[in-house]
A and B are shown apart, each in its own frame.
Chain A
Amino acid sequence: MTQDITVTLTVNGRTVTRAAGAHLSLLRWLRDVADVTDPKYGCGEGVCGACTVLVDGEPVSSCIVLAAQVDAAEVTTVAGLAGADGVLDGLQQAFLEHGAAQCGFCTPGMLMAATELVSRGVRLDRDTIRGELHGNLCRCTGYQAIVDAIASVAGGERG
């Protein structure tokens, strides 16, 4: 009764084609089928943002998108941010230096939301960063170090 469906996605530059359950969310497809485990399950409701990935450059909650719906798309997860040599990108480096990851579970989604935010290329003040990040929950940092890290890359350093 389970319908398998073939989906091809380019995940962090690697093309993956798999036949798997048609009902699988992009999150489950990535984690259970493609062994890309950096996006996390936190709620399954699209609320917490731990599963945030970029689909063709736009942030989505991978838990509430079906893999079949985004067939042929380009998917970027946090594991795709670092260079081939493993060197962290600028935003990741800022997260490291500011202590923006504590338990680290929200970090993969938070970084993808932040990546898209910074990619808009506009200077972001701290209130704007907070407003734009409201869809990504963190329970450890109080967001302080996360806002610090993003502000250090996109303007709006603490005065």
Chain B
Amino acid sequence: MSADEIRTSKAEELRVVNRPLARHDAAEKIAGTTRYAADLALGGMLHARLVRSQVPSARLVRRDVSRALEVPGVVAVLVGEDVPHNEVWVDVPGQTTEVVALKASMQVLATERVRFHGEPIALVVTETEDSLAAACEAVDVEYDLLPGVFEPEDGLREGAPAVHDQGNLLAEWNIDRGDVDAAFARADVVVEGEYATQFVDHAYLEPEAGVAWMDDDGVLNIRVATQVVEHYRDVARILGVPDSKVRVIAPYVGGGFGGKEDMTVEPYLALAVAHTRRPVRMTWTRNESLLARAKRHRTKMRYRTAASRDGTILGQDVEITSDAGAYAYLSALVLLYSSVHACGPYRVDNVRVRSKTVYTNNPPTSAFRGFGGMQVVLGYESQMDELARELGLDPAEVRKRNSLRRGDVLPVGQPIETEVLLAETIDAVIERAGDKPVPRGPRRAVGRAIASNMQSYGRLVWLNDSAAAWVGFQLDGSLTVRCGVPDIGGGQASSLAQIASEILGVDMDDISVHFGDSALTPLAGTTTATRQLLMSGNAVYEAATMLRNQILGAVAAERDQPVGSFEMAPGEIAGVDQNVPLKQALMICRRRNVPIEALGTFYGPKGREVGRELHAERIFPDFTFGTHLVDLEIDLDTGQVRLLRYVASHDVGRAINPMIVEGQIAGGAVQGIGQALLEEVVMQEGVNMTGGFFQYLIPTAADVPDIESVIVESGEGLGPFGARGVGEPPIGPPAAAVAAAICDAVGARPTTLPITPERVPDCIDRGRSREGGTAA
């Protein structure tokens, strides 16, 4: 059950942290008693559903709700005009008005124009769920179809239909470092490649859902599956009420992956409650979730890499174009991540990156685990392999030769301040995997490859990130932690308990963590960007440390001893001569007016905001590095790919809980394998063809082998106990590793995701002609 393997340096003596403990939320989830967002039912509760656009691009000629209001059981049907402030504003950072207005907006309910298939037009509220379907059907919507933009390249052409009046280019970023042209001029070898990734859905098992109600004090409560309780401010703005009049509660969330980072049901629940003054529940169907919630950006990348004969990269020239979909959401930021991560975990002194994200009439695109930092892995890692191939070098050696080291400077200008154990992760997966397997029959080929990546953790430094946490003893010696962090399944709350337990000596079973409540827990920011261990973890670390010092100080003063003569131990304060039971120590504190609680706030590293010409001495707090290895077998007739073995290694700094870390690695790897081989939201001229889980194919248990993890611990992270974030990083390498292993097997590389079986025969054919006609 324990970690597959942990390779540690700089270990310190830890009692609770770094141990594979069962999560404190696990027993209830396993017993089936955890109440998720849709599991709550309140007396007199109404039900709500959205009427959505059936076309990708149109002017709305008519929206007639009169027939719907006559459907039995219908309480209200709301349209855009019923929304107090029918506009959600999104910051588009770093851009000037040359590119587009600094702010972009979208409507809560479309009034005049729809820009994607599935866009909300009306909100139906009924007494029972049974009326919802008929009521939605009875809303008459008449469309005047408009030409649409369905490919980003088309959207940039002269005379293209305008998705938005300001133009179709939403944002662009440029990086220029060193002298790229000179680097290419003196190169021994140049490799070029074009790579494309697809629209991907988060496909968490829990569809978007929530229940909202008005409480006795006139505060609107929304209990919702979300990664961001701070959306209470956005809801307040829409309703036109003070921020203090809206409260968002995040129960345990059934998976997030970035898909519950933007608002989903919140504004609609708020409107329905504000209008009816009754509790309301809204659950999106799987079909709606696939249709209308923001996807991972489809991205096209063009790479040119210059290198010397020994495999040293001299320069890299990268163009990135991503599909922003119909509305801005976080597309500009996702593209910024793509740009900053474009060269991967390698030292490249001469770099040119040109990136653009373009409005289309496809579904909106926004946050998804890896946040733009993962699409480019396919680009830079495919380039590394092609380089190795061109030079006849070992791909692992080429990676190690170019690996970032402490003191190297990223293309964007940020120096690497910590030790980088990329080479250790490469060695770890190769050692672990042993011999390459042999084909199990004729007409089969096997391939092996590795892929490495780097992924930032923590938010962009100019966003002034902070997180607060409150830790307090109860009089009986048990402990309460309050922290606004939403727990989306990654063990966010449990990790906080583990950290507090380490510092304060309280048994995990005696700690309660109250989380994810915008009114009652100190705000800790979003569960996104692999930031919660860094931010909330450090906030709890700080609060617990303050509390420990308060108690130790009080006991020392009481006993007239120097402060350093006591330390926290399970159930007691251990002294040089004598121990003081914890309960007694708490009474000492109370007698001496020393609080037995503490509020800690952690502030992330700071930096200046960037402009479109990206340059910053610091842009992210830090990065996590890792390497995956895959063995696979190909059926040369059908093109089917079967994974035989998978090993993944990341330097996680310090594993607060190795079992959670392994879970993140295995889960991220399999999600990445899904993107590599199976998953795509298929669009046809703006019409979403992917209507259900029978069409959106996420990996099953039978599609993947064991994911063997090797945890490397450098102790170099910025999180508590030297931890690095590990939520997003493991999704980066799989697609590149799988593509490279296919290339290893058949001699040519797939460059477009997903690598469905029908894309493989083309690789086989290209591989044959590359080998000069010999059969694969």
Q: Which residues of A contact B (CB under 8 A)?
A: 2, 21, 23, 28, 31-32, 35, 37-38, 40-45, 47-48, 50, 77-79, 81-82, 86, 88, 92, 95-108, 111, 126, 129-131, 133-148, 152, 158
Contact = CB atoms under 8 A, between A and B. Distances in A.
> 8 closest A-B pairs (Cβ-Cβ)?
A103-B489, A104-B29, A105-B254, A38-B32, A142-B666, A142-B670, A78-B32, A144-B666
5 contacts: A32-B129, A102-B490, A104-B29, A126-B706, A138-B701
B657 to A, nearest CB: 9
Given A88-B30, A144-B707, A133 B702 contact: yes
Interface in B219-257: 252-257
A134 B702 contact: yes
Given A103-B252, A140-B667, A40 B205 contact: yes
Interface string B490-502: 1100000000000
A126 B702 CA distance: 10
A92 B31 contact: yes
B30 A42 contact: no
A143 B205 CA distance: 14
A122 to B, nearest CB: 18
Given A101-B23, A103-B252, 19 more contacts: A2-B130, A40-B205, A40-B254, A41-B283, A45-B693, A78-B30, A96-B22, A99-B659, A101-B30, A103-B204, A105-B489, A107-B29, A138-B205, A138-B701, A139-B667, A141-B666, A145-B659, A145-B663, A145-B666
B698 A139 contact: yes
B381 interface: no
Nearest to A21: B130
B41 to A, nearest CB: 7
B774 interface: no
Nearest to B289: A43
B36 A105 contact: yes
B1 interface: yes
A47 B692 contact: yes
B669 A142 contact: yes
B207 A41 contact: yes
B608 interface: no
Contact of A43 (B35, B36, B692): B692
B285 A133 contact: no
A41 B666 CA distance: 24
Interface string B16-43: 0000101101110111111110110100
A32 to B, nearest CB: 7
Interface string B176-208: 000000000000000000000000001111110
Interface in B668-693: 668-671, 692-693
Contacts of B255: 103, 105, 139-140
A37 B683 CA distance: 35
A2 B134 CA distance: 12
Contacts of A111: 30, 32
Say what secondary structure dominates the interface of chain A: loop
Nearest to B28: A104
Contact of A99 (B283, B660, B668): B660
Contacts of B670: 141-143
B286 interface: yes
A28 B129 CA distance: 10
Given A44-B286, A78-B32, A104 B701 contact: no
A43 B701 contact: no
Contact of B36 (A40, A136, A140, A158): A40
Given A42-B205, A47-B694, A134-B700, A148 B30 contact: no
A28 B39 CA distance: 11
A99 B692 contact: no
Contacts of A47: 692-694
A4 to B, nearest CB: 11
B728 interface: no
Contacts of B129: 28, 32
A112 B19 CA distance: 29
B526 to A, nearest CB: 17
A101 B29 contact: yes
Nearest to A95: B30
Contacts of B694: 45, 47
A90 to B, nearest CB: 12
Contact of B254 (A23, A35, A88, A103): A103
A144 B701 CA distance: 8
Interface centre among B25, B666, B704 (most CB of A within 10 A): B666
A155 B355 CA distance: 52
B655 to A, nearest CB: 12
Interface centre among B22, B29, B33, B662 (most CB of A within 10 A): B29
A147 B30 CA distance: 15
B630 interface: no
Interface centre among A111, A141, A147 (most CB of B within 10 A): A141
